[in-house]
Amino acid sequence: MGKISTYKSIAILIGFPKSSRAVASILSKNFDPKIPCHRVVRSDGFVGGYNRGGSRQKAKLLRVEGVLIKDNRIDLKKFSI
């Protein structure tokens, strides 16, 4: 089953808890397919944007990995790291 994280969780993990927008900005500039930035979602559970095909492509990749998405939203309690 796929696991995801939020921009906010990553910001906290790297020691900058108020920098979730910066994390999102950095990931939006990543085009390396080896870095699974499609696994990072918004803190409210919504899929959010994706620079390699938009939110639909991001949701598609997550579904392939076993993440359940309902109404463009993910149950963070079930799928978060």
Residue 72: predicted pLDDT: 87
- Write the pLDDT tens digit of every residue in 34-73: 999 999 999 999 999 999 999 999 999 999 999 999 988 9
pTM (2 d.p.):
0.90
Structural domains counted in the chain: 1
Judge whether 37 counts as a catalytic residue.
Answer: yes
The residue from 10, 11, 27, 37 that is catalytic is 37
Contact residues for 41 (Cβ-Cβ < 8 A; gap 6+): 4, 5, 6, 7, 47, 48, 74, 76
> What's the CATH code of the domain at 49?
1.10.10.10
Q: How confident is the model at residue 80 (pLDDT cuts 50, 70, 90)?
A: confident
Q: Which domain holds residue 14?
A: 5-79
The alpha-helical segments, DSSP class H, found in the chain are 7-13, 20-28, 54-64, 76-79
Largest distance between two CA atoms of the chain:
32
